[in-house]
Amino acid sequence: MKKSGVCPKCGSTAIIGSAYLDLVSQHAGTVGVAVDGDPRAILLKESGRSSLKPLVCTQCGYVELYATDVAPLVAANEKARGWL
């Protein structure tokens, strides 16, 4: 959907690219994704993090999420491979 502009579920081209994820809680913040660089650690896991960017189909409601910055995730994953 990100590259083609077409919903993979229904084929629609009516895609909302300006939507955002809203975490509704008493501890509101950005919804994101993380990879632990040191998965054995209890604290200080050296996690790589990225916020998520949603794309929404206006016809069927299908949603895809993309990491806005994959470099920290890749770096943490490479580091974690040494611990596995």
What integer pLDDT is reported at residue 26 of this predicted model? 41
Distance linking the first and last C-alpha atoms of the chain: 34
pLDDT tens, 19-58? Answer: 655 554 444 555 677 778 887 778 888 888 888 888 889 9
What integer pLDDT is reported at residue 21 of this predicted model? 57
pLDDT tens, 60-80? Answer: 999 988 888 889 888 888 888
What integer pLDDT is reported at residue 57 of this predicted model? 92
Residue 59 — very low, low, confident or very high, per pLDDT cuts 50/70/90?
Answer: very high
